Amino acid sequence: AKNEGRNNFQFYSQHLQANIERTTAIEAALRRAIEQNELRLVYQPQVELRSNHITGVEALLRWQHPTLGHISPVEFIPIAEDSGQIIAIGEWVLRTAAKQMKQWLDKGMLLSVIAVNLSALQFRHPNLLFQITKILDEEGLPPHYLELELTERVAMYKPEEAIAIMQTLNKKGIRLSIDDFGTGYSSLSYLKRFPISKLKIDRSFVSHVQEDSDDRAIISTIIDLANNLGLMTIAEGVENEQQLEFLRMQGCNEVQGYFFSPPTTAEEIERMTSWSADV
Ligand code: C2E
Ligand code: CA
Ligand code: CA
Ligand code: CA
């Protein structure tokens, strides 16, 4: 038994070592990812249920490394947060998204918003407002076309501080939404004070609406709450018609998910979206 314990320990320490090595490799590779042109954005349509039109898109980051291959943002974003590289990467994301949205609007595409994910470190960074304002000015994108998605966790950490940051962004005309809503621990008294426009219902609730009545209850409660607070709702991770119909019945405003489209290229978005008739 003693031997087994030691073997187990060896196994775990080798496993740990491999993890550390991969993290170190990713961190080093990330340092060159922007200049080596390895990052790109994909866009996932957000469909308004009242009109059945695509009214917005969420920008999602992709990284293809020449030897490490495709690395998921779920893996590299936390590493970039720990190393501080998320600031430069986040700036690249905001710039690229703003540029793309401006191009789409100039071409006459009928989109009202591009949503960009903001990490905890970016949100708390003292330069955030200056950085975003500069990007919007330089790209010529009016602020109300940009929506920043903050996870519930990020928004609820030191909430008084968070409210102050949100207010400066909101005063600029930038829109804010709470991502992965329902998974964190929102204090309703703070939620009421957030200058946000939308709650994004987490995929984990949407996935099980067919078989789990608790998840149905949670979704309808979130939608009621949002209505009462004057907020819009969007559900993420909608993969089938049953989920869509449930959300429609509950009065959810918008949906996003594989049922309509996975995150895709800008060209594909152009094929799917409505265009203004006079352009
Ligand atoms: P998220 O913000 O919750 O994004 C939604 C994730 O769900 C995306 O994964 C998307 O591809 C995936 N998804 C969309 N529809 C469906 C569906 O119907 N079914 C299923 N199973 N999945 C769906 P992705 O692109 O791998 O991104 C994962 C996470 O990485 C994001 O979660 C976000 O937290 C983070 N992330 C991605 N891009 C950025 C970025 O530019 N900045 C920051 N800070 N984080 C990002
Ligand atoms: Ca998101
Ligand atoms: Ca989300
Ligand atoms: Ca989620």
- Find out whether the beta carbon of 61 lies less than 6 Å from any atom of ligand 1: yes
Query: Looking at 49-166, which runs of residues are DSSP E strands?
Result: 53-65, 69-71, 113-117, 146-151
Q: In the 8-state DSSP scheme, what is residue 240?
A: S
**Spatial separation of the C-alpha atoms in residues 186 and 190, rounded to whole Å:** 8
What interface predicted TM-score (ipTM) does this complex get? 0.97
Q: Measured from the CB, is residue 237 less than 6 Å from ligand 1?
A: yes
Pairing of strands 254-255, 175-181: unpaired
Q: What is the pLDDT of residues 236-276, one digit of tens each?
A: 999 999 999 999 999 999 999 999 999 999 999 999 988 87
User: Do 97 and 41 form a contact (C-beta atoms < 8 A)?
Assistant: yes
Nearest-CA residue for ligand 1 atom 25 is 60
Distance 279 CA to ligand 3 centre (A): 34
Q: Does pTM surpass 0.90? A: yes
Distance (Å) from CA 57 to ligand 3 centroid: 13
List strand residue ranges (DSSP E) for 90-217, in order. Answer: 113-117, 146-151, 175-181, 198-201
Amino acid 152: pLDDT: 94
Ligand 1 binding pocket includes 96 (Cβ within 6 Å): no
pLDDT, the chain, mean: 94
Q: What is the pLDDT of residues 91-126, one digit of tens each?
A: 999 999 999 999 999 999 999 999 999 999 999 999
Residue predicted with more confidence, 155 or 277:
155
In angstroms, the CA 31 to CA 242 distance is 44
Determine the atom of ligand 1 nearest the C-alpha atom of 258: 18
Ligand 4: centre distance to CA 182 (Å): 10
pLDDT tens for 28-52 read 999 999 999 999 999 999 999 999 9
